[in-house]
Amino acid sequence: MAKQQKVEKPQSLEKTLWAAADKLIGAVMPHDYMKMVLGLIFLKYVSDRFEARYKQLVEEGDGFEEEKDAYSEENVFWIPEKCRWNYIKQFAKDEQIGTILDQALVDIEKENDDLRGILPKVYSKGDVDKRRLGELVDLFSNNLDTENMSGDLFGRCYEYFLGEFSKKFGQKGGEFYTPRCVVDLIVNMIEPFSGRVYDPCCGSGGMFSQSANFIKQHQGNLNNIAVFGQELNPDTWRMAKMNLAIRGITANLGDSHGDTFHDDKHKTLRADYIMANPPFNISDYGHSSLMEDPRWIYDIPPSGNANYAWIQHMISKLSPRGVAGFVLANGSLSTSGKQEYNIRQKMLEEGIVDCIIALPTNLFSTVTIPACLWFLRKDCRNKGKVLFINCGEKGIMIDRKIRELTYNDATIGHTDNPELIEKVKAYNLAEYGDEAKGDVESIAAVYHAWLKGEDYEDVKGFCKSASIEEIREADYSLVPGRYVGTDDSGKMSEDEIKAEIVRVKKELFDLMEKGKELDEKIYAILNSED
């Protein structure tokens, strides 16, 4: 019964492991600690998968247990004897545990081409406390029972850790992790059932893993999609490779990490689905060397902001029937700079912009500026119209800082928190008249009704199908609020008021701190000797 309980309550396991592991961070640098923990989770999983397959082959009695092909055909990595978890865990109390782990990862890479160069060999570094490292090994040995966990559940454990690291390490964490509810909304909107799926800044691979979950939930076939991605940060690229390997997702993430603008790993790709969360408002993206780039089909993007460079890159990658859904800062919707304005105008007149969604605040733990979702289609089904959706009032605050869009299944993300589950159900009931109807699926349903031209109607304050004439009158602004209007009954909720107070206080404290620093600099200048 205990083993069955672990399967039924994966989130409880995830949170238990995180709470325990978090206590062991010690003096290890945060980013190294993240690699250490995720590397151990990966090693435990691939080792346990190998052992299970090995046992199965022995029981079959055909003598194939030492044949690599017998493992690869089941998407199981070949793990040498001294690299297996049951061997390694014996040395948890040994001073050489770090060296043993690093060597195990080196040997696993030698035996598996798909893993070459991606596993974190950080355990024998001089600043790693070997006692605490051994405690981590014991922790996973005693609590991480992968034998009774599917790859999906184990992948959820991996991504839960990614999310917690994102919260813990601040802005740096946002480089590799996009909140699940945002990813799920994009996936539910574009429905990537079959074809080529691409993410030009894939982070830890969350878009791909949630696409796989969506396909499974809808009884689809993972073999019907081909996954392509690229990531600039080498450590994050490795995390993505591990994340997808755990889930059994075969992906082409390039032969190495690389800059999407300057070292495109998929130059000839034309994708059916593009999903992305590009870095917001980056100013230094090598603009001067891209002036003649063929991807700039509407206009050269400005040098000081890469938002419209990302947009045009993604458009250049779309197949004739392709659809793209991605996150950008709200400023991208109405920026008045000449180049951005020209690009946006041409896109709208061509009819490639399909839908714009204004997201609520506080969805991102590391980004405070407002964000939005763009959806583009090469073959827009409602030519000459754009669907605007304002989700600023959606979602619930799950704590003092973080908001989440809700799901039809209130337990998603909150399996072991009955109070939060009841809060989600109460919100769903108040918002939709049904406790089993959530934000993610409901927003996507509005979009699909609009696409099909069935059962769609404008809702004041929430959604509006605007014509190109209306958009011209608004000087090509894509801010949803300009079109959906205001719901006269809408007032800020208690949670929203609290969140706004927190946001304003943070801004005030930040300004006070900057003012203090400026005062000190001025004082130093005035008192400096000539």
pLDDT the model gives residue 194: 92
pLDDT range class, residue 24, cuts 50, 70, 90: low
Q: Which residue has the higher pLDDT, 402 or 496?
A: 402
- Structural domains of the chain, ranges and CATH numbers in brackets: 2-149 (1.20.1260.30), 170-484 (3.40.50.150)
Mean pLDDT of 396-406: 90
408 vs 528: CA distance, rounded Å = 64
pLDDT the model gives residue 402: 85
Mean pLDDT of 489-505: 51
pLDDT range class, residue 206, cuts 50, 70, 90: confident
Mean pLDDT of 50-67: 92
Q: Going by C-beta distance under 8 Å and a sequence separation of 6 or more, which residues neighbour residue 515? A: none
Return the minimum-mean-pLDDT range out of 250-259, 381-390, 414-423: 414-423
Q: Going by C-beta distance under 8 Å and a sequence separation of 6 or more, which residues neighbour residue 254? A: 229, 230, 265, 266
pLDDT the model gives residue 307: 94
Residue 378 has pLDDT above 60, yes or no: yes
- pTM for the predicted model, two decimal places: 0.81
pLDDT range class, residue 145, cuts 50, 70, 90: low
Return the minimum-mean-pLDDT range out of 240-254, 347-361, 498-512: 498-512
pLDDT in tens, 440-478: 999 999 999 999 998 899 999 999 999 999 999 999 999
Where residue 455 falls (left for φ over 0; alpha for ψ -120 to 50; beta otherwise) is left
Q: Considering the chain, what percentage of its residues have pLDDT values greater than 90?
A: 52
pLDDT the model gives residue 209: 86
pLDDT the model gives residue 506: 58
Q: How many CB atoms lie within 10 A of CB 455?
A: 10
370 vs 93: CA distance, rounded Å = 48
Q: Which residue has the higher pLDDT, 340 or 501?
A: 340
Averaged pLDDT score across all residues of the chain: 85
Q: What are the beta bridge partners of residue 82? A: none
